[in-house]
Amino acid sequence: MKGLGDMMKQAQEMQEKMQKLQEEAAAKEVTGESGAGMV
């Protein structure tokens, strides 16, 4: 199956992006800002 490796890579990149966003959201919570309810 061609593209399976690409899909795995894409999923990993998405996971890393989500992790970054969660860390940023956590940092904002610490400073008292709200993330507008974004999950």
pTM score, two decimals? 0.58
Q: Which residues of the chain have pLDDT under 70?
A: 1, 30-39
Contact 9, 22 (CB under 8 A): no
Specify the pLDDT at position 21.
Answer: 94
- As given in the structure block, the two tokens for residue 21 are 């966003």
Specify the pLDDT at position 20.
Answer: 96
Specify the pLDDT at position 10.
Answer: 97
Specify the pLDDT at position 25.
Answer: 87
Specify the pLDDT at position 6.
Answer: 95
Residues contacting 25, CB < 8 A, separation 6+: 35, 38
Dist. CA 33–CA 26, nearest whole Å: 10
Coil, helix or strand for 10?
helix
